[in-house]
Structure 1
Amino acid sequence: MSNRYGTETLSDINSKAKQQCDDFGFRFNAYQPNHEGALVDRIHAARTDGTSAIIINAGAYTHTSVALRDALTGIQKPCIEVHEGCRQPARDQWSTILLDYPWLELHNGTIVVDVGGGIGAHTEVLLKAFPNLKCIVQERPEVVAEAKRKFGMMMPDAVASGRVQFHSAGFFKEIKEGGNKKTYVKRMIVHDRPYAECFKTLDNVKGKMKSDSGLIILGTLLQPAVVSGRVSYKGDLVEELGEIPYPICRSGGVIGNLVQRVDQEVNAAVNVTERTPQEFKTPIEEADLKLGSILQPRSRHGIITATLL
């Protein structure tokens, strides 16, 4: 039986959370109902029962429950939302990227540079799953400080041995690590940024790449809803018919698919759009990089690879 989803039980998590609360002088109370209404009722009760703050993992309700959002807003208490996927990509859609991309084919001694890697969630899983790899997390200084603290607790041996290192720099300003045997990973950076910002990040990476370097882009891949019925020469993606005529939305009217819906939501909320295969291909090639492949793993996120020309 595989343990790739982890071995910690809910009781284990509650015990650790209680211990941390005890250490800081807080009273801990865990609650996990099976129904949305019960969760809303419990949040309402927190307004008057002496609760100081709420930490919540709402799962899919994060995206679907207006009642839950209203309840959290209404009680006027500090609330922190967490998801297991923020710490452990093997528990969510990133597991398919770990399984569907041949990370083991990277040469021994390859250094994976996690550009804009946050506190190193993806790096943590790569290091645990693939002993042939070393990793560098590049992020802004304040985020790197938290990443170092996290790895000091979660993977102290990797820190001590140098399997994981940390560089402080924003990816719009510079990519610090260069040289041979480097594979640069850009996770959820390129997929919805404006073209100029997308090009800038790609150009910065290209400036550090060598002949044996690679670039792996992980991000939401918007498959065109209107297709020709043909497949690409590699058989991995459908071909696009071309521009969808205004005023029909980019999805061709399809909203049932999660990615199409996400594209419409982010467009309405923050005036950005997810990228189609062609919209990934264009800035990659204009940054004088060679597109390797565009793959659709078993998730809504695509895997796009590139090398130097």
Structure 2
Amino acid sequence: MKENNLGDSLESLRGLINISIDIVKEDLITHHDSPLNLASSRRHPLRDRYDEKVAQALKRISSAGVMLRALCDPEAWIHDIMFNFSDLTALFVTCQADVANLLNNQALDATAIAEKTGIEADKISRHLRALCNMHIFREVAPNVYENNELSLLFQSESRRALVGLCAEESRLASCQMWEALNRPDFRDTEAVNKAAFNIAYETDLNIFQYWEQVRPDLGKRGACAFAGKGLNEAQYLALYPWAEEPDHTLVVDVGGGVGGATLPIVSKFQNLTLLVQDLPENKEKFWAFLKKDYPRVLESNRASFQAQNFFEVNTTKNAPIYFLRHVLHDWPDAEATKLLKNLAAVMSARSKILICEHIVLPTYRSNSAPDDTEPEPFIAPEPLLPNWGASFTSRLDLHVLSCINSKQRTEDDFKNLAARAGLTVAFMWRNVGDEVIVECRLH
């Protein structure tokens, strides 16, 4: 289908969905798995393995589903977007009440949930029903609820913390975005303390300073949210060929918190050792997290912690790999450049920086490729948007803009940022997931 040829989108989507479902079903049969069913209260084994072909199929189904929703009822779709703030509210309420852990593996009626949470039965039931509409929890009888595969995700403390961060700081900041875009003292600057967050919270401190100096309770929640970075873990671990690194390769996790991004990596790949760098107050939290969640890595002595401010020259010189996951997106270009320069200053010719981020891809389809060329594996087929409708990346982009004037970056943005730090982008590691790894080396 050509870009300007308005063909039958429904038929095109039917073909994509049918082919993709067949691929997924074949994989389930091969692994003797049960069908995918959101009514299940157990995590499906498919979530914990990664196959490029199956991942492509699932992504086509997901993207087609969103397009179908908009195509079939445009007005209802627009209303869903306008009122979806209530969805986040419902999720926030149930996470604050810890309903997923309260239910565990049993069904409870709203009265029993009310007794355990202190929230009036009718009101907690209405919040739960709103989530059931999105297949989070199940209503199995009038006002009786149980967990399903999606609601079980919110038994995780870090995921509940992330919901809190989005529902409070992020949402309040977003509400002030229009003013930040128009106020003369805010609109033309990338200063970290001139974001919509500063208007919402009436502060001259950036969000990280505010957490530290004014609201350490929110800072503690933010740190907990950032620790739980292992979403789509099998896909994430397949993003870079870690197994090809030599034995005893040191990975320095710069700004790594408690190691939430890198402990899954060294846990799977025994050829790696890990040094997590962060502010000194995270040292005890790192060792507690390591002991609780990764005891085998602890026993192998392959992980350690080092106090390091990434806005100062790094004290670990000539490391083979400096790894940054979801760090640069927290900072505007000036601060991100300084951070990279502090690493470039201590790199050897063999060192590399691996930057793991969500990359911004265009929603338009390029017409530069000849008609007979093989389609690129990471570009969605028509009639889907070529970037698969990467709404999460755009949402994250607006989140960091509202909170600290930062951004999710394009490939050219990464190249320009690297050049300003004396680096060059050597390679872009990708799969069909939402993240990429940008490999940078010295010029």
TM score, norm. by length of structure 1: 0.66
Does structure 2 retain, via aligned residues, the 8 Å contact 1:297–1:303?
Answer: no
Change (3 A) 1:154 1:60: closer
The aligned length equals 252
Alignment of 1:31-180 (within 5 A): 31=103, 42=114, 45-47=117-119, 89-90=229-230, 92-156=231-295, 158-159=297-298, 161-179=300-318
Return the offset for 1:176: 1.9
Q: In the alignment, what sits opposite 1:16? A: none
Per-residue deviation, residues 177-209 of structure 1 (Å, max 9, x unmatched):
1135x2010110113421111101111111121
User: Structure 1 or 2: larger strand share?
Assistant: 1
Separation (CA, whole Å) in 1 of partners of 2:311 and 2:162: 32
Q: 1:67-88 CA distances to partner (integer Å, 9 max, x unpaired)?
A: xx9xxxxxxxx99979998666
Distance 1:106-1:220 versus aligned 2 partners, 3 A rule = same
Matched, 1:288 2:360: no
Q: Whole-Å Cα distance in 1 between the matches of residues 288 and 156 of structure 2? A: 21
Say whether the 8 Å CA contact 2:239–2:429 is kept in structure 1.
no
2:102 match: 30
Q: How far apart, CA to CA, are the structure 2 residues paired with 1:102 and 1:307? A: 17
Of the three residues 402, 407, 432, the one matched with 1:273 is: 407
- Tell me how far apart the structure 1 counterparts of residues 276 and 223 of structure 2 sit (CA, whole Å): 21
Relative to structure 1, the CA distance from residue 198 to residue 84 in structure 2 (aligned partners, 3 Å threshold; closer, same or farther) is: closer
Give the AA of the match of 2:353. L
2:362 is the counterpart of 1:195: no
Residues 276/4 of structure 1: CA separation in 2 closer, same or farther (3 Å cut): same
Amino acid at match of 1:291: V
Aligned residue type for 2:236? I
Higher helix proportion, which one? 2
Give the letter for the 2:313 counterpart. E
The CA deviation at 1:277 is 1.1
* 8 Å CA contact retained: 1:55, 1:81: no
Which residue is 2:363 aligned to? 225
The one-letter code matched in structure 2 to 1:208 is V
What SS does the corresponding residue of 1:191 show, helix, strand or coil? helix
Structure 2 match to 1:213: 351
Q: Distance in 1 between matches of 2:227 and 2:311?
A: 25
Work out the CA distance in 2 between the residues paired with 1:171 and 1:58.
28
Structure 2 CA distance for aligned equivalents of residues 143 and 179 of structure 1: 24
Report the residue type matching 2:405 in the other structure. Answer: N
Q: What is residue 301 of structure 1 aligned with on the other side?
A: 435
Change in 2 beyond 3 A, CA 1:61/1:137: closer
Q: Match for 2:344: what amino acid?
A: K
Which deviations, in whole Å up to 9, do the C-alpha atoms of 1:256-302 show, x marking residues without a partner? 72222332344345433211111111010221112112233332222
- Are 2:267 and 2:297, in contact at CA under 8 Å, matched by a contact in 1? no
Cα 1:261/1:48, change in 2 over 3 Å: closer
Partners of 1:99 and 1:173 lie apart in 2 by: 32
Q: Which consecutive residues of structure 2, in runs of 5 or more, have no partner in the other structure?
A: 1-30, 32-44, 50-100, 122-154, 172-216, 370-375, 380-387
Tell me if structure 2 keeps the 8 A contact 1:237–1:295: no
Corresponding position of 1:247: none
Asked if 1:264 corresponds to 2:403, the answer is: no
Which residue does 1:245 correspond to in 2?
none
CA RMSD between the two structures: 4.4
Distance (whole Å) between structure 2 residues aligned to residue 85 and residue 200 of structure 1:
25
The amino acid that maps onto 2:277 is Q
Amino acid at match of 2:251: V
Task: Tell me how far 1:162 sits from its aligned partner.
Answer: 3.2
TM-score (ref. length: structure 2): 0.47
1:163: how far off? 1.1
Equivalence for 2:90: none
Task: Assess, with a 3 A threshold, how the Cα gap between structure 1 residues 162 and 4 changes in structure 2: closer, same or farther.
Answer: farther
Instruction: Quote the sequence identity (%).
Output: 24
How far residue 101 of structure 1 moved from its aligned partner, in angstroms, is: 1.2
CA distance in 2, matches of 1:191, 1:3: 30
Letter in 1 for 2:282: V
1:110-159: CA deviation from partner (whole Å, max 9, x where unpaired): 10000011101122211211000011000100012210222234445544
Between 194-203 and 168-177, the greater mean CA deviation after superposition = 168-177
How many angstroms does 1:99 deviate by? Answer: 1.1
Offset of 1:219 from its aligned partner? 1.1
User: Any conservation in 2 of the 1:172–1:204 contact (CA below 8 Å)?
Assistant: yes
Deviations 1:30-56 (A, max 9, x none): 225999x969x759942589xxxx996
- Larger CA deviation: 128-137 vs 287-296: 287-296
Distance 1:132 1:299 in 2: 24
On the 8 A contact 1:89/1:125 being kept in 2, the answer is no
Decide whether aligned partners of structure 1 residues 229 and 136 sit closer, same or farther in structure 2, where only a CA change above 3 A counts: farther
Q: Which amino acid aligns with 1:30?
A: L
